[in-house]
Structure 1
């Protein structure tokens, strides 16, 4: 019993010290995890999908039934030829 009250600390003092030590280490571990996750996070701008090509847009419209096969082939051949130039 002599060591229990050493330095004027009673049971509540030991309890408070234990809780504060657990809280301190939880704070340190949480900070380390957050820093690790922030450093290893991939850049949001590198994973943006590329814009669809005109051929892909045309194919999607044909697949949805917005245009018929004749219009699809006509527009696809126009895309393959390229822009028209005036002479």
Structure 2
């Protein structure tokens, strides 16, 4: 019989409950928005990595000394003409 009185919520209690409810719904909405954005983002990992252009590869091979300037010019002309022949 000791606790029959003083169980009503005071002004600060109402404030705490209201703030708690606002924070709860803000958290729920934030999680929902982040989940929605994550699920609707285009999948970047499905893209095939871009290969460098053939002229860049040819330039790199010349810089490394794998081919000489004559071979570079011949292959570059063949690439630009569109008539690459396989060896």
Normalised by the size of structure 2, how large is the TM-score? Answer: 0.61
Unaligned runs of 5+ in 2: 1-6
How many residues of Structure 1 are paired with residues of Structure 2 in the alignment?
74
Deviations 1:13-61 (A, max 9, x none): 11111111111111111111111111111112244442124444114x3
> Cα RMSD (Å) of the superposition?
3.1
Aligned 1:1-87 pairs, distance under 5 A:
8-59=8-59, 61=60, 66=63, 69-76=69-76, 77=78, 80-83=84-87
CA distance in 1, matches of 2:58, 2:13: 75
Normalised by the size of structure 1, how large is the TM-score? Answer: 0.61
